[in-house]
Amino acid sequence: MTDKPENQGQTTFSGDSKAKKTWSVPVLLVENRGVVRILTMNRPEKRNALNSELTQVLLDALRVADADESVGCVVLTGAGPGFCAGADLSEFKDLQQAVAAEDRAELTMQLHLAFSKIGVPVVTAINGHAMGGGAGLAIAGDMAVMADSAKLGYPEPKHGIVAAIVMANLVRQVGRKAAFELVALGEPIDAQRALQLGMVNRVVALSSLMNEALGIAEKLAAVKRPAMAETKRLFHEVADLPLAAALERGRDTNKRMRGFSK
């Protein structure tokens, strides 16, 4: 049974009683399906481009889901034909001051970092094109399911800018030559190529996307929360450690694991 979606990021009526009252649609939809929480970026008219509001609300929603013991897994997707077009470039004109630019960069970094820091697993359901920061979000999840009609890409070089924050995660998931090609040429790749490069776990028809993502999410949610949280913590920690240090971390976790099965 599906719970009623929460209106995350919703803007209410204008505070000025003399002004014409307006109602804006929430930028993020939150829906619970049993132990799975679905987060849907909801700016379809902008291909779910990440402005400051959506970035902040999505970061908050991930943290809230992690703190909610009833949530076993999160599925992240986009409304409309696109997953996420990346940063909302129309907002950049308002970020000319150094402080505003720094704040936005920090917020973006915190969002991409959150996926590895929260204990609850995240499955991305890439329903359409994911570009730039959107491609970064698409592969930031613990597992990813991609529609066969979707594409991933880092078009920043074509705009004279750099795929900066999203580069860190990309080079940890893809071989260096392929990663450099993606961020230097800015050419998008199709779903099958993304699968070959290990950027996604499954490629399915768009009509099957959510069913596939939810099926994976339910399996992940079935794992005991402490074990899943420790798996994620250790996974991201050992990925950047020398072998000996990584084995030591594994040994320490193995000791703590004895209490998980009780």
The single residue of 156, 181, 230, 237 carrying the catalytic annotation is 156
User: Residues 85, 48: contact at Cβ < 8 Å?
Assistant: yes
Residue 156 is a catalytic residue: yes
d(CA 245, CA 115): 23
Picking from 113, 99, 97, 94, the residue whose alpha carbon sits closest to that of residue 53 is: 94
List the beta strands (DSSP E) in the chain.
6-8, 28-33, 36-41, 73-78, 122-126, 130-131, 143-147, 151-153, 189-190, 202-204
In the block, tokens 């307006």 appear at 22
Q: Tokens at residue 21, please?
A: 């009252």
d(CA 165, CA 85): 15
- Residues that are catalytic: 156
